[in-house]
Structure 1
Amino acid sequence: ASTDFNPRQAEKRTITAISGTTITLDEPLEYMHYGEITFGVDQRGEVAMLTRNIKIQASADAEESFFGGHIMAMPGSRMYVEGVELTRMGQNLTLARYPIHWHLVGDAQGQYVRNAAIHNTYNRCVTVHGTNYLKVENNVTYNTVGHCFFLEDGIEHSNEFISNVGIQTKCHTSKPCVPTNLAPAGSAQERGDGQSSPDALIPSDNTVSTFWVTNPDNTYRNNVAAGSDQIGFWMAFPEHPTGQFEGTEISANTWPRRTQIREFSGNVAHSNFDGLMLDRGPNAEGRFNAGGNPHMAFSDPANATGPLDSYITDFTAYKSRNGGIWARGEQHVFSNLKLADNAIGYTHAYPGIEPQGGAYTSKVVDSLFVGESDNIGNPTTPEEIAYGRSLPHPELPDYPIRGYEYYDFLHFVEDTTFVNYEDNDTRQAGALSYLLFTSFPTSADNSIEGVKFVNAKPAHFPPMEQKWGNDNFGSNGWRTAAIKDIDGSLGHGEGAYIVNDIGILSGVDACKSMPSWNAVVCQGDLGRLNAGASGGGFGGFGGFGGGAQAPAQPPVVISSNGVEFTAANETSIVSGAEVRVATERDELPISLSQLDNGSWVLFELPGFTSVDAGSEQSSMDALRSAVDTAWYKDGDTLWVKVVAQETAGGGGPFGAFGSATSVTVKR
């Protein structure tokens, strides 16, 4: 298997001699294949034996027509497969014509495919359709087309996929993928035309995966996705089972997106675009969006009550051209991750749609992130050769690598180590960062605790660069990036915040500038300031559904200690800050959110004369001493102290992030 970013570095050779622990091949290998455990991450390349004593294959002309054989267990039948080699199998772009296929068998207790070799096939590997209690174990696949280990409709449950290895999974027999992805400008962008391609059997095959998982109530243990054109493991949960079961009563009563993950442990993904994708489940017609759909487990899925944690354990991802892990949902716990040599280690998104209300979005615990290991890959391009190792984005050699990306809502990182995230002459790096350049805001309660940094810059918030952006470029949510250091792991004291430096906080006394991080470290309570944008709070970004742009208004310039910042929706603010807000607008709404009850910010508002809340004070000293929202008029300047207070109906995913209060000032 490939041990680099490019899955096509997998190589097939014939053993001509064996002497002790030495084997002789029929020809040399073209690529270096790594064989070490490096910085605690096992990157030893897999070697799969493709021959078996029993061989089933189509005639040689299938190599041109892509019309091979297929094996299909129908309802009422029983199938047991062991130690078999399948090649030239499957019929390209034809439904139900796969190398090996359980079709609507129902209860397949005791049935299995194990120790098989499936290679050079034209339409998937092992398909499980409307079949339960099946065991798929110790199989190897190589050079296959379409989703390989395939749970078809999302009705399938209680199946076991154990110790399977999939090598070189392709979108097509010979054409490049046309994927639907979020990715840096200059590589793939979010687009859906590949989902309509006549060259894909189902829309998602153009974003191919080695393991296509449509129902979480199955076991995936110790499997390896060793090189897919796109995704290693894709947890693509539909709302209800699709295909053959769409519209049936059993489908209506089955909720994959609300079902707890039975077991996902010990799996490995490398040499993929994305290692693990827990998102983008298909809609009823089979298409999917790059922005959804989410997973959150409940004890009662039908009524979405009784939230449950779902666990991903002992997962390894390395040499991912995009991300080791991308997930979306709530109450996901990732433990003992080992993520190395990925462009981005981990990103997790909030659902953004009902049902909502989980206690948190995601946790990463007891894990290891490695920016660059000793596996230098096979440098090919001039930029890679000059750099001395292969790059996740050779076309963007300065792409900043990052370990953990914070995204929207509430995420925790605990007892985790980050290694080798240091800047160099080619690119910058950071252990902690944000999704470039998200339209959705992050929570001020995102946190780290018990975190260690070894030869690693703790944080890097890259400045907006269009070449690194994706569909989010030009949005403003990323401006609110903040991380709370619960126990002082960063060395700046317990409760300090790492905050994206967009101008205003670098002038606040409670904050220390960290230029190499593009961040400030602040002490005290941190929340959000929204000056002049519609919506307030988290809604200041147009909500989850976006919406029409409001007419352009005069800018709002916020300054502190001589540092100016032009407001664009929300920005981070620390309690006790005194800021000047200047604008030509006749009316200006100001809101604070995610601050503790009683926290405050003092605003100097030249040219304004009145405010719709608070009590008038007789002096600046009296104003500063006020415990509730208050104001003082000094000549042509209005001073307003806004004090965060509890609001009615403050529960749920928004209110859980702290108190909020708003005022409106007028000329």
Structure 2
Amino acid sequence: FGKITFDVDERGEVGLLTRNIKIQASEDAAESFFGGHIMAMPSSKMYIAGVELTRMGQNLVLARYPVHWHLVGDAPGQYIKNAAIHDTYNRCVTVHGTNFLRIENNVTYNTVGHCFFLEDGIEHGNEYVRNLAIQTKCHTSKPCVPTNLAASGEHAQPRQGLAQAGQRAVSNGIADADVLLPSDNTVASFWITNPDNVYRDNVAAGSDANGFWLSLPEHPNGQFEGTEIARTVWPRRTPIREFKGNVAHSNYDGFMFDRNINQDNTFGVTGSSHIGLSNPADPNSQPVVAVFENLTSYKNRNGGIWGRGEMHVFRNVKLADNAIGYTHASGAGGRYDYTSQVVDSLFVGETENVGNPRTPEEKKYGRSLPKPMLPDFPIRGYEFYDYRHDVVNTTFVNYADNATREAGAISFLLYTSFGMSSNNAVEKVKFVNAKPVHFPRMELKWGNDISAGSWAYKTASFRDRDGSLGLGPNSYVLIHDGPNNSVAVDNEACQVKAKWNAAVCRGDIGRLSFIDGRGFAFGAVGRGASSGPRPEDLPPVKLSHKGRQFSIPVGTNVRAGTEIRVDTERTEMDLHVNELDAGSWVILQIAGFTKADSGTAVDSVEALRKATTTAYYKDKDALWVKLVSPGDDGRGAPGGGVRMKVSR
């Protein structure tokens, strides 16, 4: 493909693989995968320019890579430039215990294992500039056994939730003997273990798994594990030095910032969080915003961007032709001002680049599909997940339903059992030939987080700060798909958007839950970690409002100023209202209950309605409760909101 389409540059790269200076192993290396290697040892200096390297590296042998700086320490001025590294058997350029190198304008093709490889997480100050990595493979001749969050329907045996997905991956991929490191079965063109390095204008094209993968250990591992210097280095708290102008396309996941490695190099589908701090050694020091600029990620079979951490800003990113454009997970649940922001960016569902249709479904459709095994997979631009994310001054193009699959600009992670905040927000968003919102109905084959505890997606919602979606500033978009309709939606304040499986509502929206310790404290109703009974093992809670009834296992979206009747066979409940503005309230009439462990007792329903702080009243048939929000500064941080334990 050779053009800029919908303002996304999808022109194919051209990399010259021949050089006048050629270093190669004997021809039989193509059968044995035992090639040559170049290694700079401590105190040595290495400068490489204009060289072709082929049949290099020794498959499954540590420290035998085509080019390898090994424990050189600070090496300012040393470099590899304008080289071609192709048809090799064990990585491309390895930087191990070495700092301040320049890796520039190199091209790689048909290589095995993480290609541009930062080894132990102690390496810093290195500059990766204008490198092109094409066709990075997990193995010499067989497919990957990856650890990723693929849709369930992409597997012969559908997975059942994040925990089970991780266990399956450990048994089938991470523990394989035929990879050098466990992570090589989810290979990356750029493997990044310390954020204190420069990545500028690089291209990751055609990796079996990841294009760019930031996978950060708590402290440097490998050669440095347990050393005094390693104890002073905190990659997960180190600011991003520079990540700008990079391109990821034709991978499974384009940009991955998650699944951080353990000291033994194993990992899971979820990882510890990244937050840059002014003093990484001090967890209470001031946070530093991490900025990822001008990233283009397209034609990736799963996601354009997946991140995990706090105060990550993605500015002027262009995401196109992906199954999912963007998903970002939290790691601190409200401790910081925000988790992620996407600003001044562009999402395109489908461009003029039709790809290479191969399957019968693709040929009928007239273009390649990101998930050929799931031709009806709903493509979506931005997935809300966790807490707390903003999309600002961003345009969505070509997310329209058709006979093959549905689509939508804004959605949620399918079908998350972890938290989502109603304080997630959009502002100054535009839609061109795009359905603004799509909350897909439950289809097991589409989800990557499927378990009995998948409750959080049932309260999917986000705030429309400036009225971009048509119902005025500070309106909310709530899931409204039939099975997951909420008590917060009514005809007076909401417009139901049937094709979105959603409703757009005016008013202050927050969360009401009935089980303490489920999911994150910021309004989620996910299963979370709790020592209490499982929601599915408890009698349901039935809510009645304006003649409608809802059966709620864990919690629900709720509108400020609403009076709701509650019926249940439970003997006690932990009520929790949060993410409402300060002074906002809800009143619950809980049939058959008699006791409240907090609030002010009043002597009538009328007095309860006039109360300005949390209160309760007991009549002959029910306990009336008014829960008044103290506000949470838009965070919904742990401990926020108002709580009350009630019992019979």
Q: TM-score, normalised by structure 2?
A: 0.93
Q: Please name the residue that 1:412 is paired with.
A: 390
Q: 1:549 to 1:198 in 2, by over 3 A?
A: farther
1:60 alignment partner AA = E
The answer to which of 181-190 and 338-347 deviates more is 181-190
Determine helix, strand or coil for the equivalent of 2:73. Answer: strand
**Counterparts of 1:651 and 1:427, CA distance in 2:** 39
Q: Please name the residue that 2:178 is paired with.
A: 199
**Counterparts of 2:407 and 2:550, CA distance in 1:** 26
Q: Please name the residue that 1:493 is paired with.
A: 472
**Counterparts of 2:522 and 2:315, CA distance in 1:** 29
1:503 alignment partner AA = N
1:515 aligned residue (475, 478, 498) = 498
The answer to which of 548-557 and 569-578 deviates more is 548-557
The answer on whether the counterparts of 1:102 and 1:129 sit within 8 Å (CA) in structure 2 is: yes
Q: 1:605 to 1:545 in 2, by over 3 A?
A: closer
The answer on whether the counterparts of 1:327 and 1:347 sit within 8 Å (CA) in structure 2 is: yes
Post-superposition offset of 1:197 = 0.7
**Counterparts of 2:50 and 2:497, CA distance in 1:** 59
What RMSD, in angstroms, separates the aligned Cα atoms of the two structures? Answer: 2.2
Determine helix, strand or coil for the equivalent of 2:382. Answer: strand
Q: Please name the residue that 1:329 is paired with.
A: 309
Q: Please name the residue that 1:178 is paired with.
A: 145
Q: Please name the residue that 1:603 is paired with.
A: 588
Determine helix, strand or coil for the equivalent of 2:574. Answer: strand
Q: Please name the residue that 1:590 is paired with.
A: 575
Q: Please name the residue that 2:647 is paired with.
A: 666
The answer on whether the counterparts of 1:108 and 1:133 sit within 8 Å (CA) in structure 2 is: yes
Q: How does 1:14-413 map to 2 (within 5 A)?
A: 34-188=1-155, 190=165, 191-192=169-170, 193-304=172-283, 305-352=285-332, 357-413=335-391
The answer on whether the counterparts of 2:518 and 2:528 sit within 8 Å (CA) in structure 1 is: no
Q: 1:433 to 1:315 in 2, by over 3 A?
A: same
**Counterparts of 1:535 and 1:325, CA distance in 2:** 28
**Counterparts of 2:474 and 2:498, CA distance in 1:** 21
Q: 1:453 to 1:426 in 2, by over 3 A?
A: same
**Counterparts of 2:413 and 2:468, CA distance in 1:** 22
The answer on whether the counterparts of 1:533 and 1:540 sit within 8 Å (CA) in structure 2 is: no
Q: How does 1:474-493 map to 2 (within 5 A)?
A: 474=452, 475-493=454-472
Post-superposition offset of 1:313 = 0.3
**Counterparts of 2:550 and 2:528, CA distance in 1:** 26
**Counterparts of 1:263 and 1:497, CA distance in 2:** 35
1:78 alignment partner AA = K
The answer on whether the counterparts of 2:421 and 2:524 sit within 8 Å (CA) in structure 1 is: no
Q: How does 1:407-556 map to 2 (within 5 A)?
A: 407-474=385-452, 475-501=454-480, 502-504=484-486, 505-507=488-490, 509-532=492-515, 537-538=521-522, 545=529, 549-550=533-534, 552-556=537-541
The answer to which of 252-261 and 464-473 deviates more is 464-473
2:320 alignment partner AA = A
The answer on whether the counterparts of 2:29 and 2:35 sit within 8 Å (CA) in structure 1 is: yes
Post-superposition offset of 1:571 = 1.6
The answer on whether the counterparts of 2:275 and 2:309 sit within 8 Å (CA) in structure 1 is: yes
Post-superposition offset of 1:280 = 1.3
**Counterparts of 1:297 and 1:587, CA distance in 2:** 42
1:362 alignment partner AA = S
Q: Please name the residue that 1:29 is paired with.
A: none
Q: Please name the residue that 1:19 is paired with.
A: none
Determine helix, strand or coil for the equivalent of 2:154. Answer: coil
2:74 alignment partner AA = D
Determine helix, strand or coil for the equivalent of 2:278. Answer: strand
Structure 2 gaps of 5+ residues are 160-164
Q: Please name the residue that 1:11 is paired with.
A: none
Spell out, residue by residue over 1:381-439, the C-alpha distance to the aligned partner (whole angstroms, 9 max, x if none): 11111211111111111111111111111111111111111111111111111111112
Spell out, residue by residue over 1:434-477, the C-alpha distance to the aligned partner (whole angstroms, 9 max, x if none): 11111221122111111111111111111222111224443112
Matched-pair identity in %: 60
- Number of residue pairs aligned between Structure 1 and Structure 2: 628
The answer to which of 370-379 and 567-576 deviates more is 567-576
**Counterparts of 1:310 and 1:534, CA distance in 2:** 31
Determine helix, strand or coil for the equivalent of 2:206. Answer: strand
Determine helix, strand or coil for the equivalent of 2:213. Answer: strand
Determine helix, strand or coil for the equivalent of 1:416. Answer: strand
Spell out, residue by residue over 1:184-224, the C-alpha distance to the aligned partner (whole angstroms, 9 max, x if none): 01225532231111110001000000000111111100000
**Counterparts of 1:131 and 1:275, CA distance in 2:** 27
Q: TM-score, normalised by structure 1?
A: 0.90
1:626 alignment partner AA = A
Q: How does 1:579-658 map to 2 (within 5 A)?
A: 579-615=564-600, 620-632=605-617, 636-645=621-630, 654-655=636-637
**Counterparts of 1:290 and 1:329, CA distance in 2:** 14
Structure 1 gaps of 5+ residues are 1-33
The answer on whether the counterparts of 1:344 and 1:402 sit within 8 Å (CA) in structure 2 is: yes
Spell out, residue by residue over 1:308-337, the C-alpha distance to the aligned partner (whole angstroms, 9 max, x if none): 101100000001111000010001111000
